[in-house]
Structure 1
Amino acid sequence: MESLITKLTILIFLMVHLSRFTMTAKFGEDTETLELLAILHRHGQRTPSQIYKNDPYKDEEKYWPIGLGQLTNIGKLQLYNLGKLFRKGYKTFISSYSVKAVRANSSDYDRTHMSAQCLLAGWFPPEGDEVWNNDLLWQPVPIHSVPINEDQILAPLAPCPNYWMEREKIMIDLANNETAKDKELYQYLTEKSGENICTLDDLAVLYTTLEIEELNGFTLPEWTKLVYPEQMREKAVLVAKSFTWNRILKRYFGGPMIKEILFQFKEKSEGRNKGKKLFLYSAHDTTILSFLRALNFENPVYPAFGASVIVELHRINDKYFVKLFYTYSHKVLPSELKIPNCSSPCTLDKMLKVTEYVRSVDWDKQCFE
């Protein structure tokens, strides 16, 4: 009889908790079952990385005194407020910083390092004995990275000839499908910008510069009104998708990020990663987009500055489950995403199974063979 009661108690416990998982969960719920967090975010608003020949704002000292490709004050505040959002949502799970609990990673760019620092400043302001300077309520947190030419995860630009050859095939196919109207667009952009705009990649670079100048409050030249943003955005989105256009490309460009997070989750589920509560990854729009596309989200929203993917590992009665949230801004609470090809709730075992192909890349071997 006692055994039966015990079994019924466990069954009721599971039914209550699993029912909460099957409905669309709210951000910050279920922290009592939360074991580990992984957060992948885009850096904050920045200055242009490139300027074009006829750019009215090409005088760097006048218009971009902090330099090209750098985090702006708006970008700093975006990430600081994002950190405050996470602090509020996970206050019962992790509210104070410790080196044992938090591991912060960044691609090796100034803007991603600074974005991570701002986010962590918002999340973990010093309290009590953590305060080391009463005039500065901030505490240093180590940010880890590898050189850009060795990065296989956050800005995967480590040498991989096979990846780039496969992507080049995709770009050739896209170019072969272009219409006479597309060619006219290239000619128009070349004439007006002073740059040789002859490929989708060229167009995407110009589009990004115009977009960032507009976000920074500059009035765009009159000629842009005929093509920006609609015509150019459509092409720029194609370029963003091209990095993970097929299964092969997803495995190289999105797979390593999935592999990294699920490795940490697996370690936690097997009794390692003791004390760890948060893995933070400060990266780029292409990192987030490729991560989602490698998970088989067909048309994820293009990540704005500060957009974030939140992956949670939960433990219920010694079984592990994965939940996925997304927010495109610090002003909006993250909402749950249903993981493709995985029932809700998604067990860690099933998550590992459905991502097996994209996690299987052996970079050092398969990039060069």
Structure 2
Amino acid sequence: MVELLNKDEKVFSLIITIMIYMSRDTIFVHSLKPDSLQLVAVLHRHGLRTPIQHYENDPYKDQEKYWPIGLGQLTNKGKKQLYNLGGQLRNKYKTFIPKYYANSVRVNSSDFDRTLMSVGALLAAMFPPIREQIWNFKLLWQPIPIYSVPATQDMVISPLAPCPSFWTEHKKVLSEITSNETPEDKELYKYLTKYTGESINTICDLQYIYDTLLTEERNGFILPKWTIPVFPDRMKDKSNLCALSYTANDILKRFYGGPMVKEISHQFKEKSEGHIKDKKLFLYSGHDLSIINVLRALDINDFIHPDFGASIIFELHQLQKKYYVKMLYSHSVEVEHYELDIPKCAIPCPLDELLSITEYVRSVDWSTQCFE
């Protein structure tokens, strides 16, 4: 009996040893710590802005009276939102990136006043000058370069470069959505057409109206009484559906989400191969669609729509000789970043697995496939 127990104990001990050996990496990588961090990429939405456009019957369309800073411009509240985001990032990465160095930080923005100004406000909080960087003791701020390309050439952050293939496919998607709408949907469009003075026939027609109403309300204006039965509840889901329609299938995901996923994946691969040793941070200033497109390209569909100042953080970690990607999301400046799992990938996601599962969306060749 004693001999049998000893044998059983030996077998049990061997099984435990094998299990520990097999799961050693898994146990280890689940504890990603700051000292394993190698590179950070942040994609954020701009702060609160003024409306981009007005509808025909808009009581607040007198720009000189109500919107003296112009349409689509960053408001003071929006500046504060992004300044706060910069403070959050500074606190989160103050050990990893203690101060601004030209070789360690790269900042890119879409070609819009509100995104350029937003990331400027973020940088002011994230990288205040210290010691030798202080050039004006009355102004603890330092200029940091922000790179951008003309909107009509942007294929990454806010893909507005010409792409007939994308728009042909999107038109099909929109047509299919419209053909499946209910009588209640049609009644909503009819109601909005009557009170806005605009022709509302699709979810994206509705989205423009919703966006205007939302930004007017956020800026402290009282909305017309006709909005009470429909805003925000009956309009919000339809508006969000329009935003999702741009990545409704794999073809659209490649064009609208693929380039940004490709950009970040490329930077992480370059870092893992030792080609950009000094780089620690890539910042991308964009829009709500910029964030939605990336989430959808990664097959993340269950998320809260990005509010003003929302952000995604990608972290590259090294454990022993292997690299892992951690992803965090905050749908609002007021909400702390929380971790998101990348579908079809282990937790945390090995870089080589991420490159494998995103190969299709990253394979888009804008210059040729957009004109096929």
Q: Per the alignment, in what secondary structure is the counterpart of residue 197 of structure 1? A: coil
- Give yes or no for contact 2:29–2:319 (8 Å, CA) kept in 1: no
Structure 2 residue 238 is the aligned partner of structure 1 residue 230: no
Distance in 2 of aligned mates of 1:250 and 1:353: 16
Change (3 A) 1:18 1:94: farther
Partner of 1:338: 341
Distance in 1 of aligned mates of 2:227 and 2:63: 21
Superposed CA offset, 1:184-229 (max 9, x none) = 1111111111112122211100000001111111110000001111
Partner of 2:80: 77
Partner of 1:5: none
Structure 2 residue 236 is the aligned partner of structure 1 residue 260: no
Partner of 1:317: 320
Structure 2 residue 19 is the aligned partner of structure 1 residue 19: no
User: Which residue, 148, 152, 170 being the options, matches 2:151?
Assistant: 148
Partner of 2:286: 283
Unaligned runs of 5+ in 1: 1-7, 24-28
Partner of 1:128: 131
Distance in 2 of aligned mates of 1:74 and 1:19: 44
Partner of 1:49: 52
- Give yes or no for contact 1:295–1:355 (8 Å, CA) kept in 2: yes
User: Which residue, 117, 122, 127 being the options, matches 2:120?
Assistant: 117
Q: Per the alignment, in what secondary structure is the counterpart of residue 326 of structure 1? A: strand
Shift of 1:82: 0.4
Map 1:1-369 to 2 at 5 A: 15=24, 19=27, 21-22=29-30, 30-369=33-372
Distance in 2 of aligned mates of 1:245 and 1:65: 37
Distance in 2 of aligned mates of 1:362 and 1:265: 20
- Give yes or no for contact 2:42–2:314 (8 Å, CA) kept in 1: yes
Greater Rg, structure 1 or structure 2?
2
- Give yes or no for contact 1:82–1:329 (8 Å, CA) kept in 2: no
- Give yes or no for contact 1:153–1:256 (8 Å, CA) kept in 2: yes
What residue identity is the alignment partner of 1:262? S
- Give yes or no for contact 2:324–2:349 (8 Å, CA) kept in 1: yes
Change (3 A) 1:286 1:30: same
- Give yes or no for contact 1:95–1:123 (8 Å, CA) kept in 2: no
Distance in 1 of aligned mates of 2:302 and 2:331: 15
Distance in 2 of aligned mates of 1:329 and 1:21: 28
Q: Per the alignment, in what secondary structure is the counterpart of residue 241 of structure 1? A: helix
Q: Per the alignment, in what secondary structure is the counterpart of residue 358 of structure 1? A: helix
What residue identity is the alignment partner of 1:298? N
Q: Per the alignment, in what secondary structure is the counterpart of residue 113 of structure 1? A: helix
Superposed CA offset, 1:274-314 (max 9, x none) = 20000000000001011001100123210000000000001
Shift of 1:22: 2.7
What residue identity is the alignment partner of 2:182? T
Distance in 1 of aligned mates of 2:198 and 2:167: 24
| Total equivalences in the alignment | 353
Q: Per the alignment, in what secondary structure is the counterpart of residue 362 of structure 2? A: coil
Q: Per the alignment, in what secondary structure is the counterpart of residue 107 of structure 2? A: strand
Superposed CA offset, 1:242-293 (max 9, x none) = 0000111111100110000000000011111120000000000001011001
Distance in 1 of aligned mates of 2:213 and 2:44: 23
Partner of 2:6: none
Distance in 2 of aligned mates of 1:41 and 1:272: 26
Superposed CA offset, 1:331-363 (max 9, x none) = 332111111100112110000000010001011
Distance in 1 of aligned mates of 2:338 and 2:155: 28
Q: Per the alignment, in what secondary structure is the counterpart of residue 89 of structure 1? A: helix
- Give yes or no for contact 1:293–1:300 (8 Å, CA) kept in 2: no
Unaligned runs of 5+ in 2: 1-16
TM-score by length of 2: 0.92
Distance in 1 of aligned mates of 2:236 and 2:332: 20
Shift of 1:329: 2.6
TM-score by length of 1: 0.93
Distance in 1 of aligned mates of 2:29 and 2:170: 38
- Give yes or no for contact 2:47–2:114 (8 Å, CA) kept in 1: yes
Superposed CA offset, 1:22-44 (max 9, x none) = 37xxxxx7221111000000000
Partner of 2:4: none
- Give yes or no for contact 1:250–1:293 (8 Å, CA) kept in 2: yes
What residue identity is the alignment partner of 1:92? T
Distance in 2 of aligned mates of 1:85 and 1:345: 23
Shift of 1:91: 1.0
Superposed CA offset, 1:152-174 (max 9, x none) = 01000111111110000000001
Q: Percent identity?
A: 56
Q: Per the alignment, in what secondary structure is the counterpart of residue 105 of structure 1? A: strand
